[in-house]
Amino acid sequence: MTGTADAQDLKRFRFMFPVESVNQFHPFYIADQRGYFREEGLAVEFADAGGSSAAIQQVIAGNAEAALPAPSAFLNAVAQGYDLKWISSYQYANIFTLAATAASGIHSIEDLKGKTVGVSDLSGGEVPLVRAVLAEAGLVEGRDVRILPVGDGSALTLNALQSGQVDAYSSSLFDIAAIRASGVEMTTILPKEAQDFPANGIVVTAEALEADPAMFEGFLRATAKGVAFAAANDAQAFEMAKAIRPEEFEVDAVAKANWEAAHILKTPPASLADQPLGTHFVQGFQAYHDFLRQGTEEEGGLAADVDLTKALDSSLLEAANRFDKAAVTRP
């Protein structure tokens, strides 16, 4: 391709996803397929770390240049003393939610008194969220509300909801989407302020960022191009993602529900509509930080305050958005 580096000149760049999902992270894969990383002189390798904390550890250990963790894992790592930078935001809505079956008659957190809430696993990332919103509503786990692990949107989860074993379910938006696609009507009861907590973004070590800012600028620019292309060409992006990993798209209803969930997560709040791609939603970050500070470390809470003016780094965003958007978004 014109203007791209020769293969031998490409710089290797390992990028860690918290989970393996082309559907959820399709702009990155599309950026790779369309040659945007190569145009920036990068040979990018994608890898699944098996969780946000594990992804961050790979970056800290020097086994990856960057990762895409959840903010809770990032904030906890920084609170523990690791010098990390969140250099671009990818998802803006809380990836975890809490919903009740329509048949349960539950419309608020307070309505959960005497009920059972299903979760994917007792160590799942949604559990601290459930415990916190219950506490805010004056409900005590074990006395007023029971928390029961029922899987991550699987047949086990579906059976628990349909049989009435659990009255509500908390997990990722993708697990809830799978439940809805299976025909169970669900009503979101997570408070609005918690729905607006940010989700995954691109994280690097401060040392690596200082050593080679141009490399990370190029990575962010290529990623921004992938985000812009996918937003402007939704149907084509869906077919491209489907071709990359067909097994994720075998059940059409589930694939489309997950695609819509990915859209919800990627959409920035109205206040950022005219800002560069990747801009941080500082207000939501601060609210999430303060929320996590209320919990104990055992519950996933923060051990110490995090200075977001230092942890959230916007130094590369303006330059990363310098590209011909009309040319990039052309089908």
User: CA-based angle 174:175:176, to the nearest 5?
Assistant: 90
Assign 135 a pLDDT band (cuts: 50, 70, 90): confident
Secondary structure of 170-193 as H, E, C letters: EEEHHHHHHHHHCCCCEEECCCHH
Q: Would you state the pLDDT for residue 103?
A: 86
Beta bridge partners of 51: none
- pTM of the full structure: 0.87
Q: Residue range 226-241: average pLDDT? A: 97
Q: How much is the pLDDT for 263?
A: 94
Model confidence at 122, pLDDT cuts 50, 70, 90, reads confident
Paired residues of 168 in beta bridges: 100, 117
pLDDT digits (tens, 9 = 90+) for 143-180: 999 999 998 888 999 999 999 999 999 998 999 998 99
Q: Where are the beta strands (DSSP E) in the chain?
A: 11-17, 42-48, 66-67, 84-89, 96-101, 115-119, 145-149, 168-172, 186-188, 201-205
pLDDT at 250 over 80: yes
Q: Is the pLDDT of residue 195 over 50?
A: yes
Average pLDDT over residues 292-298: 72
Q: Is residue 313's pLDDT more than 90?
A: yes
Average pLDDT score over residue span 58-76 = 94
Band the pLDDT of 32: cuts 50, 70, 90: very high
- Give the per-residue pLDDT at 299: 58
Q: What is the pLDDT of residue 136?
A: 86
Which residue from 40, 84, 50, 39 is spatially nearest to 66, judged by alpha carbons? Answer: 84
**Beta partners for 271?**
none
Q: What is the pLDDT of residue 295?
A: 65
Position 14 pLDDT exceeds 90: yes
| Highest mean pLDDT: which range of 98-107, 113-122, 305-314 | 305-314
